[in-house]
Chains A and B, each alone.
Chain A
Amino acid sequence: MAEPASIVYERVSKKFFTLPGETRALHEVSLVVSPGEFLAVVGPSGCGKSTLLSITAGLIQPTSGRVLVGGTEVRGVSRRVGYMFQQDHLFEWRTCEQNVTIGLEVQGKHGEETHRFAVSLLEQYGLGAFRQHYPRQLSGGMRQRVALIRTLAVDPEIMLLDEPFSALDYQTRLSLQDDVHSILRQAGKTVVLVTHDISEAISFCDRVVVLSRPPGRVKVDLAIRLTCEKRTPFLARKAPEFNEYFDRIWGEIEITA
């Protein structure tokens, strides 16, 4: 399995252009994410959270500045980076098993060994019995787990999570947060989680970065230290420091409602 990599953002700015003018999405964001660290990015809507992820994955290029993954500058789509979206986007015409191997197929790595790895992940995460099922036959939580395995199957060093829990109902969300958290810790990935849910950010990650109103700058960079015997997102919510962090971050987010 791949070792986790670091991510370095050096004065990353992004402007989007339209005929009437330009929108500044990010302004000189500089950050260092250590290997194996879980970083949450929160901020008001439109602050460029998702843009930051797209730039990290190499799907779009920054207007200025650069991103280094494991010391190498990101130019074009990076295979070291896995991306998970709010919607599972499973392919309805493929079975579970065929869905989790799509990344392998695209990267030309779909062989006997990698196939077995992908299937073992399905089994490991309680989806072994659903290998031949089509997505419409699965619940929302199961679908999102298949989507996670699809990304893990290509064994990226970094996982980018773009509000992966927000489309789920509350109970599914809580239990899936625990599952995904332990899966990603076990797999030893570096994680960047974008969310608008402050509780999720604190409970899921080691560190929370608050972006300002657009154009997004790093406003606060906060290490999360919680006293709880087992660091799962569910138990983290019960830690004595939790509310303090919550109020602090709540006060920093410039709600523009």
Chain B
Amino acid sequence: MSAMAAVSPEHAEFIRRVRWRRRSILGVQVALLVLFFGAWEGAVFYRLVDPLIASSPSRILTTLAKLHRDGSLYQHTLATLLEALAGFGLGVLAGIGMAIVLWWSDYLSRVLDPYIVVLNAVPKIALGPLFIVWLGAGITAIIGMTLAISVIIMLMMVWTAFREVNPEKILLLRSFGATRLQVFTKVVFPASMPTIIAALKTAIGLSWVGVIVGEFLTSTQGLGYLIVYGGQVFNLHLVMMSILVLSAAAAVMYQALAYLERRYLAWKG
């Protein structure tokens, strides 16, 4: 809330209370974070838990600094980020594209419906080995994995949104003589925008799953690789650090989508 003039003493009191509540929520959020890491560090410092197994915030920071110095932190993070973005982007485009085709042809959508339902139900991770064989071990297989996961969820959510557009809104536009393409671009797509953004948020989360699983299966770099490698050589500082970097990257990406939502759904108020 920007500076807002109070219109009466009671209103000023109301504004004061709302602001205080917001600040207290933020305060507790920060306190929780500090408390969590503090307790963690303390528990390891006083040897309540074994640092070899629990790691600790200070050891994680040391690892982070080391990887920062030799530059490998950025190499691994960038690799994972690029794979996630590529898989997510392709999945989103393909998912929305397929939803458009299914919306366009009712006949085709009825033909394909049972297959899509089954594809949605299958855990896509089970397809991992196939991707490795088909696309070759490495980055393409990982992107394929990510795409497979994000495309289905996009398709399902967006297609449902398209079908749920009020038929009378479509009729209204048709009464002006709208073509099918105009019906799509002027009503169906904009009316589905809230669901599309919700689908993007869901798909980005699942894309991270795809990338990390892909990197577990086949990779020589990336945060998923670091996690697996760290686990194998029993370097849990490295594992924890990778997870934290991954969380930060995922949070940033999610916030970017939230920004998109605020920007394009201003009409929802």
Contact = CB atoms under 8 A, between A and B. Distances in A.
Genuine A/B complex: yes
Interface of A: 57, 59, 77-79, 81-83, 85, 87, 89, 91-94, 102-103, 105-107, 134, 136-137, 154
Nearest to B182: A106
Contacts of A91: 169, 186-187, 190-191
Contact of A106 (B177, B193, B267, B269): B177
B90 to A, nearest CB: 27
Contact of A107 (B168, B176, B190, B269): B176
B248 interface: no
Nearest to A81: B175
A89 B175 CA distance: 13
Contacts of A134: 267, 269
B173 A106 contact: yes
Nearest to A153: B176
Contacts of B187: 91
Nearest to B166: A89
Contacts of A59: 171, 174-175
Contact of B191 (A82, A93, A102, A154): A93
A103 B269 contact: no
Contacts of A77: 174-177
The 7 closest A-B CB pairs, nearest first, are A83-B175, A103-B176, A106-B176, A106-B178, A77-B177, A93-B267, A134-B267
Majority SS at the chain A contact face: loop
B172 interface: yes
Contacts of A102: 173, 176, 186
B192 to A, nearest CB: 10
A57 B178 CA distance: 13
B193 A93 contact: yes
Interface string B185-201: 01100110100000000
Among B174, B175, B187, B268, chain A packs the most CB atoms within 10 A around the CB of B175
Contacts of B177: 77-79, 106-107
Given A91-B187, A106-B186, A154 B176 contact: yes
Contacts of B182: 106
Nearest to B171: A59
B184 to A, nearest CB: 12
A166 to B, nearest CB: 14
B176 A93 contact: no
Contacts of A79: 176-177
Contact of A92 (B168, B172, B176, B268): B268
Given A87-B168, A92-B267, A136-B269, A57 B175 contact: yes
Interface in B216-255: none
Among B176, B177, B182, B269, chain A packs the most CB atoms within 10 A around the CB of B176
Contacts of A83: 172, 175
Contacts of B171: 59, 85
B173 A85 contact: no
19 contacts: A57-B175, A59-B174, A77-B175, A78-B177, A83-B172, A85-B168, A87-B168, A89-B172, A91-B187, A93-B193, A102-B186, A106-B173, A106-B177, A106-B178, A107-B176, A134-B267, A134-B269, A136-B268, A137-B269
Contacts of B168: 85, 87, 89
Nearest to A95: B267
Contacts of B166: 89
A85 B172 contact: yes
Contacts of B186: 91, 102, 105-106
Contacts of A57: 175
Contacts of B176: 77, 79, 102-103, 106-107, 154
A219 B61 CA distance: 87
Among A81, A82, A91, chain B packs the most CB atoms within 10 A around the CB of A91
Nearest to B264: A93
